[in-house]
Chain A
Amino acid sequence: MKPLPRRVYNRMLLRSLSVQGSWNYETLIGTGFVYTLLPALRTIYGTREGRLEAAVARHIELFNSHPYLATVAVGAVSRLEAEGVEPAVVQRFKTALRGALGAMGDRLVWSAWRPMSILLALLLILMGTAWWVAVVTFLAVYNAMHLTIRALGLRLGTQAGLEVGRKLRDIPLQPIIERSSQLACFLVGASVMLAAVPLARDPIALVPTAVAIGAGFALGARARTALIGSLVIVTVLALFIGLTGYGTE
């Protein structure tokens, strides 16, 4: 099988940035998947009557994946289309792949790498660094992983084709997730300390700070709702006092 030209590969990589562009409740990222795959389909089917249109129609179906890992599926499917693999086989392959790509991306990116990168930036700001240092650091650290995943994913997919599932299992994902999570927890400890300790000089601040931190550690994501609730209550109270003068006489 003749590999796809470099320019086709680059176009797919660029288009992959918009794989979620037409996200909808019918095909999820299915149409974005086809949009990303189109440069390869055009190269494979050219102007042969109806073949390109038939390929596009075949692929406009339900598909979902982590957006960065969609390139794995795009690359693999482009190879299968170039090899002339039976459409039914390609469809089964896509169905089998989507769950794995979604779960991998969620664990690696949303639950580990992204929070770690953000916490690093927040810590830098709490340490008194200039805002742009924190922002640039976050964007650089995060997008180093982001763009690597997209590019390597496309390469892996185009090289491995039907074997991509086995290749994905060989990637040492768990150590990366584990190290990121450990580092993120380190950053949590440091940033909580930097946020809370300066308040310790104010005796009134001790109790609410301790309660907020305790609620955070104990409740996890549910603490968000509780803290928003406290924000609303204090605001209503402050406005009531301001409007009525109650308690200020």
Chain B
Amino acid sequence: MIPFDGPAVLLLILLGGAVAVDGTSFGQFMISRPLVAASLAGLVVGRPMQGALIGVVLEAFQLTILPVGAAKYPEGGPAAVAAGAVYAASDPASSTALICVLIALGLEVVGGESVRYLRQGNVYIISARGTDPLTPRQLERRHLAAIGLDYLRGTVLVTIGIIAISVGVSTLVPLWGLGERVPHILITAMVAGLLASTFRILGSHTWMTALGAAAGLAFLLLTA
């Protein structure tokens, strides 16, 4: 049911931990972005471009999510690792992609909730309730322990994601009753719509958007 072997699963789990940590705890170099995470997952499985395609869709869903303050938000990285890997190892059908994306979106919400629990747990890890104040060494150890816990959280999320998406693909894709044209149209239209939805958060620069559209059209005509 899981469409890749043991070493690949292990690598993906390790990647998932790294991606989870990069999201907030350490680095924030943005390997946790769905486009990067899914591409790397696809690379582990041997088909990075196929992973990247799922990454494009999931990235489009994340475009308007801003991690400001203590706001809750869906976590894209580990879900993208799982979805990118399963899709890359599967038949590249649009129905498969749609099922992978749908389950990944659900996993993102789970990921976001797990971040909330982690942050609540960090209160107990890092505080010295009822005891003497933390020494510098204790603070350093506890701070690093919190990062380690985040890594563990990411590995668990990716494990759950790989299982859930693999089961979803193997049971739901054979039941898909609308052909491949519909999911292809739906996914592509959604990506276009989600790209357009960033217009407002970017300041609604109408003329620049129109200029970009003209450039895009020119590119298509020149390369047709």
* A residues lining the B interface (CB < 8 Å): 17-18, 20-28, 31-32, 34-35, 38, 41-42, 52-53, 56-57, 60, 64, 67-68, 102, 106, 110-112, 114-116, 118-119, 121-122, 125-128, 130-132, 134-135, 138-139, 142-143, 146, 178, 181-199, 202, 204-205, 208-209, 211-217, 219-221, 223-224, 227-228, 230-232, 234-235, 237-243, 245, 248
Contact assessment for A24 and B52 in the assembled complex, using a CB-CB cutoff below 8 Å: no
B48 at the interface (CB under 8 A from A): yes
Contact assessment for B195 and A121 in the assembled complex, using a CB-CB cutoff below 8 Å: no
| Shortest Cβ distance from residue A44 to the other chain B in the assembled complex, whole angstroms | 12
Q: Please list the 7 inter-chain residue pairs (A to B) with the smallest Cβ-Cβ separation, ordered nearest first.
A: A189-B212, A216-B196, A193-B216, A212-B193, A242-B177, A241-B177, A220-B200
Contact assessment for B193 and A215 in the assembled complex, using a CB-CB cutoff below 8 Å: yes
In the bound complex, residues from chain A placing their C-beta under 8 Å from that of B153 are: none
In the bound complex, residues from chain B placing their C-beta under 8 Å from that of A135 are: 35-36, 39, 52
Contact assessment for B178 and A131 in the assembled complex, using a CB-CB cutoff below 8 Å: no
Contact assessment for A197 and B194 in the assembled complex, using a CB-CB cutoff below 8 Å: no
Chain B's interface: helix, strand, loop or mixed, by majority? helix
In the bound complex, residues from chain B placing their C-beta under 8 Å from that of A186 are: 205, 208-209, 211-212, 215
B163 at the interface (CB under 8 A from A): no
Contact assessment for B196 and A224 in the assembled complex, using a CB-CB cutoff below 8 Å: no
Contact assessment for B217 and A197 in the assembled complex, using a CB-CB cutoff below 8 Å: yes
Contact assessment for B194 and A21 in the assembled complex, using a CB-CB cutoff below 8 Å: no
In the bound complex, residues from chain A placing their C-beta under 8 Å from that of B134 are: 56-57, 60
Given contacts A64-B69, A186-B209, contact A122 B144 (CB under 8 A): no
Contact assessment for A189 and B66 in the assembled complex, using a CB-CB cutoff below 8 Å: no
Contact assessment for A28 and B70 in the assembled complex, using a CB-CB cutoff below 8 Å: yes
B10 at the interface (CB under 8 A from A): no
Residue among B125, B188, B194, B204 having the largest count of chain A Cβ atoms under 10 Å: B194
Please report the C-alpha to C-alpha distance between residue A119 and residue B20 in the assembled complex, in whole angstroms.
Answer: 22
Contact assessment for B30 and A114 in the assembled complex, using a CB-CB cutoff below 8 Å: yes
B26 at the interface (CB under 8 A from A): yes
28 A-B interface contacts by CB (under 8 A): A18-B27, A23-B146, A24-B123, A31-B126, A31-B143, A35-B139, A119-B63, A127-B219, A131-B51, A135-B39, A186-B208, A186-B212, A188-B195, A188-B202, A189-B209, A190-B212, A194-B219, A195-B192, A196-B192, A204-B181, A209-B188, A213-B193, A216-B195, A220-B197, A223-B197, A224-B194, A235-B98, A238-B178
Contact assessment for B143 and A194 in the assembled complex, using a CB-CB cutoff below 8 Å: no
Known contacts A106-B66, A189-B208, A190-B212, then 19 further A-B pairs from the complex at CB < 8 Å, ordered by chain A residue: A21-B25, A21-B150, A134-B35, A185-B205, A186-B205, A188-B195, A188-B198, A188-B212, A189-B212, A192-B216, A198-B220, A202-B185, A204-B181, A205-B185, A209-B185, A212-B192, A224-B61, A234-B183, A235-B98
Contact assessment for B64 and A221 in the assembled complex, using a CB-CB cutoff below 8 Å: yes
Contact assessment for B30 and A227 in the assembled complex, using a CB-CB cutoff below 8 Å: no
Contact assessment for B59 and A122 in the assembled complex, using a CB-CB cutoff below 8 Å: yes
In the bound complex, residues from chain A placing their C-beta under 8 Å from that of B122 are: 22-24
* B residues lining the A interface (CB < 8 Å): 24-31, 33, 35-36, 39, 42, 48-49, 51-52, 56, 59-61, 63-70, 95, 98-99, 101-102, 105, 119-120, 122-123, 125-127, 133-136, 139-140, 142-144, 146-147, 150, 172, 174-178, 181-183, 185-186, 188-206, 208-217, 219-220, 223
Please report the C-alpha to C-alpha distance between residue A28 and residue B66 in the assembled complex, in whole angstroms.
Answer: 17
Contact assessment for A238 and B176 in the assembled complex, using a CB-CB cutoff below 8 Å: yes
Contact assessment for A208 and B189 in the assembled complex, using a CB-CB cutoff below 8 Å: yes
B74: nearest chain-A partner, CB-CB: A224
Contact assessment for B177 and A243 in the assembled complex, using a CB-CB cutoff below 8 Å: yes
